[in-house]
Homo-oligomer: A and B are copies of this chain.
Amino acid sequence: MNLGKTNIDVASMGIDIGGTKTLGVVLGGEGNLLTQLRFPTPPSSSKIVELVLSIYSELSSEVAGNVDICSLGIGIAGLVDTSGQLRRAPNLVEADGLRIGEMIAPRIDVPVHVDNDANCAALAEIRLGAAKDVDNALLVTLGTGIGGAVVANGNVFRGGFGVAGEPGHMMVHPDGIGCACGANGCWEAYASGTGLRNLAVRQAKAGKLQAVLQEGGGFEGLTGELVSQAAFEGDQEAIAVVDEYAKWVAMGLANCAALLDPEVIVLGGGVIGSWELFGPKICESFEGFLIGSQHRSSVQIKPAKMGEAAGAFGACLLGTVHGATG
Contacts and interface: CB of A to CB of B under 8 A. Distances in A.
Interface of A: 79, 81, 87-88, 135-136, 148, 150, 152-153, 157-174, 181, 183, 251, 254-256, 258-264, 289, 291-292, 295-297, 299
Contacts of A159: 136, 260-262
A81 to B, nearest CB: 7
B292 A164 contact: no
Nearest to A135: B160
A174 B87 contact: no
A173 B173 contact: yes
A259 B171 contact: no
Contact of A164 (B160, B162, B168, B261): B261
A263 B256 CA distance: 19
A241 B258 CA distance: 27
Contacts of A169: 258, 291
A258 B161 contact: no
A194 B299 CA distance: 30
Nearest to A134: B160
A297 B161 contact: yes
Contacts of A162: 261
Contacts of A87: 292, 295-296
A296 B81 contact: yes
B160 A254 contact: no
A52 to B, nearest CB: 22
A259 B261 contact: no
Given A136-B159, A174-B173, A296-B81, A181 B261 contact: no
Contacts of A161: 261, 263, 296-297
B254 A295 contact: no
A183 B259 CA distance: 17
Given A87-B296, A160-B297, A174-B251, A259 B258 contact: no
19 contacts: A79-B296, A135-B160, A136-B160, A150-B259, A158-B261, A159-B260, A160-B299, A161-B263, A163-B292, A165-B259, A165-B261, A166-B259, A166-B261, A166-B292, A169-B258, A171-B289, A172-B173, A173-B173, A173-B174
A83 to B, nearest CB: 11
Contacts of A88: 292, 295
